């Protein structure tokens, strides 16, 4: 893309918007905004093409609601997996670690465990992105702004000017430094949570056979399961139209308050099956059978961000994992990014949002989203403690754990991001349109 030096919004356009980061949240936002003709949208991705790391991603009812509101439901439904009948409302069944005894189930009526392969979902929404919006090989180096607009510099030597900039550039965000300068706020670097996660995708039929061989009900291959134990837990759910099962096995080091990775240790590495199995001594036959189906596991050091004091600085906003990266224990991270994308789409598409009012609109977005996303971060961390028999006031009391898991997700799932849009419009004094 050619270097831009002008601060003027392109002729006939109400607002020029730059988006840094081409993951699920950034692409969903670009797709949503691209439907408004008087907006100029440019999306910058550091890689040479759209890609997603990781395997399965789980969506709760709130995330599916955001996907629908963004006009992406048909694309999503074509690739999404669900809990099989008659378990359609099951998000997870919860079981004890050493004998797989059933503890309880968390139900999400009408949704259940709605899941996809990350790369498949990204591909589905990319197909809705108009030509010419995405620019690749654009790794953000720095951001500056003045009264007229925002300048973004990229490592390839190019730069770009826009009216507002949205940083959807992940947990290692470059845009975050501009919003929260280290010299002013101190560092907000990702923290290792103390948890390592072994990941693998297992052919469903292979898992069925492995469970059958140890005399375990093979329905546990396709009905989402979570096996809970001290400092460890294992989850399984189907992806790829139930041809594969996503398996993640978590191990947490709670030997010290602030565990540290060894210097230079990779965030993701390949490990042996033996090393993974050695981390789950004494676990039940089903758990061991599941892990035994992962021939080449990868191990991920799970990081999160601390709660940030703010997400916006005048014309620049960070959101998604750039603002509130969280642990995966509630399946909430991608859902919060999609809620962010929907709320921003509605607010920035409103005709009342222009170069003069845009900074105020971004501030209103922060005002209605900050508390919820921070709560999602905190409760995701807490959920991992509950799963691993370390929940505050709960510990290893399985009756208490079961009671907690029946209601833990209600506040998260029952939220409607349309309420955030309405609250932001009220925040702005009712000057924005009732409907975009």
| Residues labelled catalytic | 199
> What CA–CA distances, in Å, run from 125 to 29, 46, 47, 270?
10, 18, 17, 30
Side-chain-side CA neighbours of residue 121 (13 Å): 32
Q: Work out the burial of residue 392: count CB atoms within 10 Å of its CB; fewer than 13 is exposed, 13-18 middle, 19 or more buried.
A: exposed
């Amino acid at each position: 893309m050619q270097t831009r030096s002008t601060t003027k919004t392109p002729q006939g356009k109400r607002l020029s918007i730059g988006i840094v980061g081409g993951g699920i949240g950034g692409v969903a936002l670009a797709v949503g905004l691209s439907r408004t003709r008087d907006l100029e949208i440019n999306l910058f991705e550091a890689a040479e093409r759209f890609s997603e790391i990781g395997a399965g991603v789980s969506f709760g009812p709130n995330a599916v609601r955001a996907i629908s509101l963004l006009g992406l439901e048909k694309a999503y439904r074509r690739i999404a997996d669900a809990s099989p009948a008659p378990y359609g409302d099951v998000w997870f069944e919860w079981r004890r670690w050493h004998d797989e005894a059933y503890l309880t189930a968390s139900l999400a009526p009408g949704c259940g465990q709605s899941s996809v392969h990350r790369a498949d979902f990204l591909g589905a929404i990319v197909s809705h992105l108009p030509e010419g919006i995405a620019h690749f090989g654009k790794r953000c180096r720095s951001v500056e702004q003045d009264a007229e607009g925002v300048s973004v510099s990229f490592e390839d030597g190019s730069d770009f000017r826009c009216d507002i900039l949205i940083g959807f550039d992940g947990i290692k965000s470059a845009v975050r430094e501009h919003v929260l300068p280290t010299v002013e706020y101190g560092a907000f670097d990702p923290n290792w949570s103390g948890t390592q996660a072994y990941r693998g995708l297992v052919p469903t039929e292979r898992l069925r056979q492995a469970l059958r061989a140890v005399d375990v009900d093979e329905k546990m291959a396709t009905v989402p399961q979570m096996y809970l134990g001290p400092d460890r837990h294992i989850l399984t759910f189907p992806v790829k139209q139930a041809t594969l099962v996503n398996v993640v096995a978590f191990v947490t080091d709670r030997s010290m308050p602030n565990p540290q990775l060894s210097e230079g240790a990779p965030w993701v590495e390949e490990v042996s099956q033996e090393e993974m199995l050695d981390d789950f001594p004494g676990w039940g036959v089903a758990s061991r059978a599941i892990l035994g189906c992962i021939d080449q596991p990868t191990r991920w050091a799970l990081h999160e961000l601390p709660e940030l004091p703010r997400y916006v600085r005048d014309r620049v906003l960070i959101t998604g994992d750039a603002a509130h990266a969280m642990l995966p224990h509630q399946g909430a991270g991608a859902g919060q990014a999609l809620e962010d994308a929907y709320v921003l789409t509605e607010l920035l598409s409103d005709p009342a949002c222009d170069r003069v009012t845009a900074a105020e609109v971004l501030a209103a977005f922060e005002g209605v989203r900050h508390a919820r996303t921070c709560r999602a971060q905190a409760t995701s961390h807490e959920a991992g403690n509950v799963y691993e028999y370390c929940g505050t006031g709960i510990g290893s009391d399985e009756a208490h754990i079961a009671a907690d898991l029946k209601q833990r997700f209600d506040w998260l799932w029952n939220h409607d991001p349309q309420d955030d849009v309405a609250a932001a419009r009220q925040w702005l004094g009712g000057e924005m349109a009732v409907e975009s």
